[in-house]
């Protein structure tokens, strides 16, 4: 069953480590922003990013979310679940900038994983473009099976 169906674009969904929350990106406010909703679906939605954000990722303990802000800056947001009445409430701290990633600009809603967060949140692996690396040529070999049989 669909998790979320709106007239907006939603993308890049990822479950929290405990499976009770889904972080995702949406353009419902205009620019793409990162949000969290409860899972299974229930009332409540929390905006994680300020001034734009995509590609949310959870720290393994669920106490922090990361996302890419405009300009490909990696941001971190401390989060906490508080029990208030019959359902939990998601509390969000102010986003903190970490570093510029050098990830190439991508189209909005791009789904591929661009970075990975270590379980403790202290190391982050980023898929970047080399600043001075020349583009490697692409070589296409046609009829390679026949060449292999001949020993070429």
pLDDT tier for residue 53 given thresholds of 50, 70 and 90? very high
**Spatial CB neighbours of 11, under 8 Å, sequence gap ≥ 6:** 24, 25, 26, 54, 109, 110, 111
Q: Return the H-helix or E-strand segment holding 146.
A: helix 144-150
pLDDT recorded at residue 73: 94
Task: Kindly report the pTM of this predicted structure.
Answer: 0.79
Mean pLDDT of 27-43: 91
Calculate the average pLDDT of the chain. Answer: 86
Location of structure tokens 């359902």: 87
Burial-class residue 46 by CB neighbours within 10 Å (0-12, 13-18, 19+): middle
């Amino acid at each position: 069953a669909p998790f979320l169906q709106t007239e907006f674009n939603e993308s890049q969904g990822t479950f929290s480590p405990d499976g009770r929350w889904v972080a995702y990106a949406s353009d419902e406010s205009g620019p793409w922003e990162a949000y969290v909703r409860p899972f299974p679906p229930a009332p409540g939605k929390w905006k994680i990013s300020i001034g734009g954000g995509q590609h949310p990722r959870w720290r393994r303990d669920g106490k922090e979310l990361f996302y890419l802000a405009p300009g490909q800056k990696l941001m971190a947001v401390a989060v906490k679940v508080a029990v208030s009445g019959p359902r939990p409430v998601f509390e969000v701290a102010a986003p903190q900038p970490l570093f510029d990633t050098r990830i190439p600009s991508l189209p909005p809603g791009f789904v591929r994983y661009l970075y990975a967060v270590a379980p403790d949140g202290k190391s982050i692996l980023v898929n970047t473009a080399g600043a001075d690396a020349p583009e490697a040529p692409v070589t296409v070999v046609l009829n390679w099976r026949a060449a292999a049989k001949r020993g070429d």
